[in-house]
Chain A
Amino acid sequence: MSGKNVQPESSLTTLVDLRRGDAATLDHIDLPGKDARRLMELGFLPGIRITAGHSAPGGDPRVFQVDGSEIALRRETAKRLKVRLDKTRHASGMP
C-alpha cells in the first residue's frame, strides 16, 4: 500500500488506496450514469480535490472530504472513483 502513495502523479489509482490524510484529484467515476450523477451532485466532480478522512473500524466505509462536505463511501463505491494522487502526502497521523 505505501508503495502506491509515492507513485508518479500521472498514474491513476482509486479512492480505496487513499489512507487517512491523503489527498487526490478525481479523474473520472467508473459507474453507470445515474449513480455517477448522484456522486457528482454531492461534489465528486472530475478535477475536484478529495481528502480521505476517518473510517469505520476496519477501514470500510471511509469518510471523504469533498467540496465542503464529508461523505462516507463504501469500499465497493470508492474503488470506482479513479483518482490521481497529489504529489505531497499529507500528514496521515493527524489528531
Chain B
Amino acid sequence: MSECRDCHDCGAATVVEFPGALESPKIVALAGPPNSGKTTLFNRLTGLRQKVANFPGVTVEQHTGIAELPDGRTVGIIDLPGLYSLSPQSEDEQVARDVLTGERRDTPRPEAILLVLDATNLSRHLMLAAPILALGVPTLIILNMADDLRNRGGHVDTRQLSAQLGAPVALVSARQGEGIGQVFEFLASAMPAPAPKDLPVLQDVPKCRAWAGRVGRQASYRPPVPPKWTRRLDSVFLHPVAGPLVFAVVVVAVFQTIFYAAVPLMDGLRWLFEVSGKWVAAALPDSIFRSLLVEGVWSGVGSVVVFLPQVLFLFLFIGILEDSGYLARAALIADRTMAKVGLQGKSFIPLLSAYACAVPAILSTRTIENKRDRFATILIAPFMTCAARLPVYTLIIAAFIPNRPVLGPFLGARAAALLGLYVLGFLAAVATARVLKSSILKSGRTPFLLEMPSYRWPTVQSIGLRLFDRAKVFLRRAGTVILLVTVLLWIMAHLPAVNGKAPAIGDSLAGAVGRTLEPVIKPLGFNWKIGIGLITSLAARETIIGTLGAIYGMDPQSQKLGLQKALQHDLTPGGAVALLVFFAFAMQCISTIAVVRRETGGWKWPILQFTYMGALAYVGAFVAAHLIR
C-alpha cells in the first residue's frame, strides 16, 4: 500500500505517457494463464500509474503502467491478456503472443517477461513456462498465491525449480504484497537470459504436461489440499435449489443498486451541475457565448457525468463478483438460459445492467472472453429498456392511455403499456441475438469452457483501481463525443441568430432539419416538432421532453401537464404508440454509440447497430401507426 500512498499526490492528474516519456526505456511484459492473479500483481507493481487503451487495430485492451524501483529507476510494464499457451486461439492470445515475440510493430518487444503462475496449481500452470522460456527472453517465474499454497499445506522448493528452469523464481502473494521485493530485485538486476535444462516439444501438449510434472517433482512440489471453503460455498451456491435462489438475490441486488441506490447520487450531481451552471451564467455577461457555455458545454458534460454513479456502482458489484469468484458460478447458472438465444452465461450480468443504462453494461462485457459472444451482447444491450427511456414512456403513456384497470385492481392500463414496452425491447434483443448468433457472429463449434476459480476475498486496492480505471475510460471517451454533439445540437438550435439572439426553435437550423425530416416521418404519424425532438434525443433520449417543452414555449414549471395537452393535440393515438415503439427500438444515445465504437475498436459495428436499430424502429413505428388509429 505504501507505494500507493507515495503517488497519491500526483494521483489522477499525472498522465503517464507510455512509452515515450520513460527515462529508462526498459519494458517488461507480464504474462500468465487466466486466473493466475496477473492483474493483481500488475496493480501491486504499478499502483495508480497505469493507462488503459486498446491495442491498435484490435479490440484487445492494453494495460500499461510504470513501476518504480527502490533505487528510483522506472520500468514500463505491459499487462498482457491471459494465455494458456503460445498457440493462440483467440484475438487476446494472438496479441499476447505477438507482443512477446516482438511481432507487433506498435509495441516494443519486451526486454524481459514476468511469467505469473498459480502456485496452488503449479503442475498445470508450469506448462506455459516451456514456450515462454523457449523465447530466450530474460524471464522471472513468479509463483503467485504463496499464502494459499502455505495455508493449505502445499510446498515448493524455489531454488530447485530455478535450477531446473534456468531462470530465477520468486514465490509471491500479489494480494498480500508478500515477496514483491524479489520482483523489483529482478527488474533492477542485469536480467540474464534463461537457460533451462531441457524443454519439451512445444507442439505436443501431453509432452509439455509431462515435462511440467517432472519439473514440479524435481522441485519437490506438493500441491495444496483442495480449498475447503470453495467446496463449502459451492455446495450452497451451486446447490440445485439454494443456488438459483442466491443467484436471484444477487441479480435483484445488482438491479436495485444501479436502478435505485445510484439515483440520489445522480440527482445530487444533476443538482450540482444546475447550480454551478446558474452560477456561471450569473457571473458572465449575457451573450451567445454564455449560452453556448451554459446550455451547450455545461449541460452536455453534465448529462454524461450524472451517469457516473451508475457506472461506478455497477463496476463495484462486478468487481466484487469477479474477484471473489462468484461471477463464474453466476455464469454457470445463467448459461442454459442464455444458450437458448445463442449466447452464454457471462452475457447475463451485462444484459441485466443494460436495464439501467447500456453504457456501463457495454463496458462490463469485458468479462466475456469469447469475442463473438461479447460483440453480440454489445449489439443487443441497447434494446433493453434503459432508465433514460422511462421519462419518455411515462410522459406519452400518461398523455394517451387512460388509467383503467386491465387485470382487476392488479394491473392498470398504463402499467400494462409500460410492461409491454419492456417486453418489446426484450423480444427485440432476443430475436436480434438469435439472428446474430446464427449468422455474422456465429461461434462455430468452439467448446464453451468456464474455469471455476477458488473463492477469494476481493481486495480494496484491486476494486478501487478498477473503479478508477472505468471512471476514467467512461468520462474521457464518452465525454468527448457527447460534448461535441451537444455543442453541435446547440449550434443547430441557435442559428441563424436573429438580432444577435437565438431564433425561435421552429425557425432555427434544427427546425429546418425537422421540417426537412417531416416527409420521412409523416408515415409514422410524426410532425416536424416531433422531428426536432427525435434529432435532439440523439444526444440522450430524455432530451426530447425538454426540446418539446421548448418548442411549445412552455414554462418549465407547468411543462409536464401542458406538454401532455400539446402532445394530444399534435399526435394521434396511433402516432403516440408509434413514438413509443420508435423509442423502444431506436439507438438514440450518443454515449452508447461512443462506447460501442471504443469497445469494438472502430465505426463498423456502431454504424451497423445504429442503422439496424433505426430501421427496426422505423418499420415498427410504421406498423404501429397503421394498426392503431
Residues of A whose CB lies within 8 Å of any CB of B are 31-32, 34-35, 37-43, 45-46, 53-58, 60-61, 63, 67-74, 76-77, 80, 95
Contact = CB atoms under 8 A, between A and B. Distances in A.
Interface in B199-234: 205-206, 209, 223, 232, 234
Contacts of B121: 67-69
Given A38-B89, A68-B123, A45 B209 contact: yes
13 contacts: A37-B89, A38-B449, A41-B85, A42-B84, A42-B449, A43-B209, A45-B209, A54-B235, A57-B333, A58-B336, A63-B234, A63-B332, A72-B332
Contact of B452 (A39, A40, A46, A63): A63
B339 interface: yes
B476 interface: no
B173 to A, nearest CB: 18
A71 B452 CA distance: 6
Given A61-B336, A71-B451, 7 more contacts: A39-B447, A40-B209, A42-B449, A56-B243, A57-B244, A68-B223, A80-B447
Contacts of B240: 57
Q: Which of A60, A68, A95 has the most CB of B within 10 A?
A: A68
Contacts of B452: 63, 69-72
A40 B206 contact: yes
A4 B223 CA distance: 33
Contacts of B446: 35
A61 B450 contact: yes
Interface of B: 84-85, 87, 89, 120-121, 123-124, 127, 205-206, 209, 223, 232, 234-235, 238-240, 243-244, 328, 332-333, 335-336, 339, 445-452
B438 to A, nearest CB: 16
A77 B447 CA distance: 6
Contacts of A63: 234, 238, 332, 452
Contacts of A80: 447
Q: Which of A35, A69, A76 has the most CB of B within 10 A?
A: A69
A45 B206 contact: yes
B123 A71 contact: no
Contacts of B234: 53-54, 63
A68 B124 contact: yes
A8 to B, nearest CB: 26
Contacts of A61: 332, 335-336, 448, 450
Nearest to A66: B124
B124 A38 contact: no
A45 B210 CA distance: 10
A41 B205 contact: yes
A69 B451 contact: yes
Contacts of A72: 328, 332, 335, 449-452
A80 B135 CA distance: 34
Contacts of B332: 55-56, 61, 63, 72
A77 B446 CA distance: 9
Contacts of A55: 238, 332
Q: Which 9 A-B residue pairings sit nearest by Cβ, starting from the closest?
A: A54-B238, A70-B452, A77-B447, A72-B450, A40-B205, A68-B121, A41-B84, A74-B448, A56-B332
Contact of A34 (B89, B232, B448): B89
Nearest to A67: B124
Contacts of A60: 335-336
Contacts of A58: 336
Contacts of B123: 67-68
A82 to B, nearest CB: 15
A95 B223 CA distance: 23
Contacts of B127: 41
B97 to A, nearest CB: 14
Contacts of B244: 57
Q: Which of A42, A57, A58, A67 has the most CB of B within 10 A?
A: A57
A37 B87 contact: yes
Contacts of B339: 74
Contacts of B209: 40, 43, 45, 67
Given A57-B240, A57-B333, A43 B451 contact: no
A46 B240 CA distance: 31
A48 B223 CA distance: 16
A68 B449 CA distance: 16
Contacts of B449: 38-39, 42, 71-73, 77
A46 B121 CA distance: 19
A23 to B, nearest CB: 14
B58 to A, nearest CB: 20
Contact of A35 (B232, B336, B447): B447
Nearest to A47: B206
A43 B124 contact: yes
A60 B339 CA distance: 11
A56 B235 contact: no
Q: Which of A32, A56, A57 has the most CB of B within 10 A?
A: A56
A68 B120 CA distance: 8
Contact of B447 (A53, A54, A74): A74
B447 A38 contact: yes
Contact of A56 (B84, B124, B333, B445): B333
Contacts of B335: 56, 60-61, 72, 74
Contacts of A39: 447, 449
B343 to A, nearest CB: 13
Contacts of B89: 34, 37-38
Contacts of A34: 89
B124 A69 contact: yes
Contacts of A40: 205-206, 209
A42 B448 contact: no
Nearest to B87: A37
Nearest to A32: B445
A35 B205 CA distance: 12
A35 B206 CA distance: 15
Contacts of B85: 37, 41
Contacts of A69: 121, 124, 451-452
Given A35-B445, A72-B449, A56 B336 contact: yes
B155 to A, nearest CB: 15
Contacts of B206: 40, 45-46
A7 B240 CA distance: 27
Nearest to B205: A40
A57 B243 CA distance: 8
Contacts of A95: 232, 235
